[in-house]
Structure 1
Amino acid sequence: MRNAGDVSCKATIPVDLESEAYFLAKEDGIVAGIALAEMIFAEVDPSLKVEWYIKDGDKVHKGLKFGKVQGKAHSIVIAERVVLNFMQRMSGIATLSKAMADAAHPAYILETRKTAPGLRLVDKWAVLIGGGKNHRMGLFDMVMIKDNHISAAGGVNKALKSVDEYLEQNKLQMGVEVETRTLAEVHEVLEYASQTKTSLTRIMLDNMVIPLSNGDVEVSMLKEAVDLIDGRFETEASGNVTLETVHSIGQTGVTYVSSGALTHSVKALDISLKIDTELALEVGRRTKRA
């Protein structure tokens, strides 16, 4: 079947009908995606005029009209779904990021690479808008030695040594993080670092908290690991991080807390874009009289 464009619009909306639509928050949250929405409207129809009453990162309450778009009704309706898809997703991420960033303080909240395919930059943008910080952007801008790297290299010290040699040989300077899962591995990393000039900058403390029946976590192992490191390297807590647990984790002294939940299972913020029916009818009547 050939692509005939938006057949619903063609069938129901006069091509020359001018109208106005408003953005409506249908629940409380943090709005994100305003800048991206403007790009989408401009791509669909550069003549559309968009006006906002808030900015990215502002809080909205249910029932608030926080922006409007004016122009051809055809163009508004064609752009509507794409704009809302991005804004709802980004606002959902920003809303959770804000809540987790506040709860994690004084630690910083980070997202991970567990993002929607093709939307990594958008998802990470939303985390920043919500008050979180970005982890590495990809596989190219930071060395991150994970469990599989350690297993393949033959141990954590061998993996670290290989990374140090690789960076030196290729004259590369970038952050280096190594994952540890036990206190013994933390000791091993610290011993290596005490005997060698290393490029290591951060130690990940993975799954060092124990989930409790009340939804919180027991953090004594994580706290002990942070105390062992004693500020020699940045620390990052990972695993079992939720909105319910992040406060306890953030109080242990870790530098960062990373959570895949920020982006891998997003609850979209309910936002709608509604045509101003009365205005559309009035414009339609004037058009017919003319």
Structure 2
Amino acid sequence: MAASGPRNPSAAAVSEVVNPPLHPTYDLRAVVALALSEDAGDRGDVTCLATIPIDVKAEATFIAKEDGVIAGISLAEMIFNEVDPSLKVEWSAKDGNYVHKGLQFGKVYGCARNIIVAERVVLNFMQRMSGIATLTKAMSDAAHPACILETRKTAPGLRLVDKWAVLIGGGKNHRLGLFDMVMIKDNHISVAGGVTNALKSVDQFLEQNKLTIPVEVETRTVEEVKEVLQYATENKTALTRIMLDNMVVPLPNGDVDVSMLKDAVRLINGRFETEASGNVTIETVKKIGESGVTYISSGALTHSVKALDISLKIDTELALQVGRRTNRA
């Protein structure tokens, strides 16, 4: 539902509408249906059935309980529509807006029972997505001019939702899955018999199958970077990006040493995109971003999510008025 509401100056837009990533097999509506189904079980909401007549109307308000970046508004509309297409939703914020604690940023009107049925599923998605977007925004701002990426370390079944939240927070998406990028990691290299053999096999595979997709190779030392560059000098290759893994070294004082990372970036000298990975935190990301890397990837964006506290409160006075009129209060 494309609803609109009064604009709130304290929720000034910081982004345009952000669409979810395109995935060839992921069905977002099926994910929503599953979330609602696991909540409803085979009886539905027995508490609502027992306490709230179907004809009672209500108004509920979204309230930010802490500062952060809101994400999941578009998904919330999808969920409300799935539960009850007659529910009306109005927002004074949109995905990507920064909200402050106490801000009322949206309302939903309609059947009280159906608002409550949708409430927990809506909040579960919005709180998780907003937590991801909030951390992504903080890390993106600190990492500039490098771009922040997430990884495949997402909640099972929520891959697209998590990656959507990263986009809303101002980050960029790494590969969506195993299908859209060749990513040669340590285990591939070990089984293939080394970096050179792995790269050679990938180039042969892509040529034989007439595939044109990005190729990334993981390196763990400056010597491996040199080996990759040597291969690329001597061979036609589809390689597009070099991952510099764990070249950010933690120090006892809590700082990090990025000298190895800088050495690798200088060696590559713009021939390929570069991606720093490992020991990336909100405290270290600024220093990593200043090293000259193209991208910084962080699994923590999605695997260790701190949800943003959001509530959905029904207007108590309105509910009491309805109750008095119908002898239920």
CA RMSD of aligned residues (A): 1.1
Provide the residue aligned with 1:87 in structure 2: 126
Deviating beyond 4 angstroms after TM superposition, the runs of 4 or more aligned structure 1 residues are: none
Residue pair 1:34, 1:56 contacting (<8 A) in 2 also: yes
Helix, strand or coil at the partner of 1:36: helix
Q: Tell me the distance in 1 between the aligned counterparts of 2:139 and 2:267.
A: 26
Q: Tell me the distance in 2 between the aligned counterparts of 1:214 and 1:55.
A: 41
Query: How far is the alpha carbon of 1:282 from its aligned partner?
Result: 1.4
Q: Tell me the distance in 1 between the aligned counterparts of 2:68 and 2:249.
A: 30
Q: Tell me the distance in 1 between the aligned counterparts of 2:110 and 2:181.
A: 45
Residue pair 1:109, 1:259 contacting (<8 A) in 2 also: yes
Residue pair 1:26, 1:63 contacting (<8 A) in 2 also: yes
Provide the residue aligned with 2:146 in structure 1: 107
Q: Tell me the distance in 2 between the aligned counterparts of 1:215 and 1:177.
A: 30
Cα distance per residue 1:31-88 (max 9 Å; x no partner): 0000000000000001100000000000000011100000011000000000000000
Q: Tell me the distance in 2 between the aligned counterparts of 1:287 and 1:49.
A: 23
Provide the residue aligned with 1:51 in structure 2: 90
Q: Tell me the distance in 2 between the aligned counterparts of 1:93 and 1:283.
A: 38
Provide the residue aligned with 1:137 in structure 2: 176
Q: Tell me the distance in 1 between the aligned counterparts of 2:57 and 2:127.
A: 26
Residue pair 1:56, 1:129 contacting (<8 A) in 2 also: yes
Instruction: Give, as a single letter, the amino acid of the residue that structure 1 aligns with 2:219.
Output: T
Provide the residue aligned with 1:219 in structure 2: 258
Query: How far is the alpha carbon of 1:104 from its aligned partner?
Result: 0.5
Does 1:64 pair with 2:100?
Answer: no
Query: TM-score normalised to the size of structure 1?
Result: 0.97
For 2:305, which of 257, 262, 266 is the aligned residue?
266
Cα distance per residue 1:91-132 (max 9 Å; x no partner): 000000000000110000000000000000000000000000
The one of the two structures with greater contact order (alpha-carbon pairs below 8 A, sep at least 6) is 1
Query: How far is the alpha carbon of 1:3 from its aligned partner?
Result: 2.7
Helix, strand or coil at the partner of 1:191: helix
Residue pair 1:27, 1:62 contacting (<8 A) in 2 also: yes
For 1:242, which of 273, 278, 281 is the aligned residue?
281
Instruction: Give, as a single letter, the amino acid of the residue that structure 1 aligns with 2:258.
Output: V
For 1:201, which of 214, 223, 240 is the aligned residue?
240
Q: Tell me the distance in 2 between the aligned counterparts of 1:70 and 1:248.
A: 47
Residue pair 1:216, 1:248 contacting (<8 A) in 2 also: no
Instruction: Give, as a single letter, the amino acid of the residue that structure 1 aligns with 2:251.
Output: L
Structure 1 gaps of 5+ residues are none
What count of residue pairs does the alignment treat as equivalent? 288
Provide the residue aligned with 1:73 in structure 2: 112
Q: Tell me the distance in 1 between the aligned counterparts of 2:300 and 2:195.
A: 27
Does 1:3 pair with 2:42?
Answer: yes
Provide the residue aligned with 2:28 in structure 1: none
Query: How far is the alpha carbon of 1:280 from its aligned partner?
Result: 1.2
Query: How far is the alpha carbon of 1:152 from its aligned partner?
Result: 0.5
Helix, strand or coil at the partner of 1:189: helix
Cα distance per residue 1:228-284 (max 9 Å; x no partner): 000000000000001111100010000000000000010000000001000111123
Q: Tell me the distance in 1 between the aligned counterparts of 2:202 and 2:158.
A: 29
Query: How far is the alpha carbon of 1:287 from its aligned partner?
Result: 4.0
Does 1:146 pair with 2:209?
Answer: no
| Identity among equivalent pairs (%) | 79
Provide the residue aligned with 1:158 in structure 2: 197
Helix, strand or coil at the partner of 2:260: helix
Cα distance per residue 1:175-229 (max 9 Å; x no partner): 0000000000000000000011110000000000111233331100000000000
For 1:39, which of 78, 83, 97 is the aligned residue?
78
Q: Tell me the distance in 1 between the aligned counterparts of 2:286 and 2:74.
A: 31
Helix, strand or coil at the partner of 1:19: strand
Structure 2 gaps of 5+ residues are 1-40
Q: Tell me the distance in 2 between the aligned counterparts of 1:225 and 1:164.
A: 23
Provide the residue aligned with 2:231 in structure 1: 192
Q: Tell me the distance in 2 between the aligned counterparts of 1:165 and 1:142.
A: 15
Q: Tell me the distance in 2 between the aligned counterparts of 1:90 and 1:244.
A: 22
For 1:169, which of 205, 208, 214 is the aligned residue?
208
Provide the residue aligned with 1:117 in structure 2: 156
Query: How far is the alpha carbon of 1:288 from its aligned partner?
Result: 4.7
Helix, strand or coil at the partner of 1:205: strand
Does 1:232 pair with 2:275?
Answer: no
Cα distance per residue 1:142-164 (max 9 Å; x no partner): 00000000011001000000000
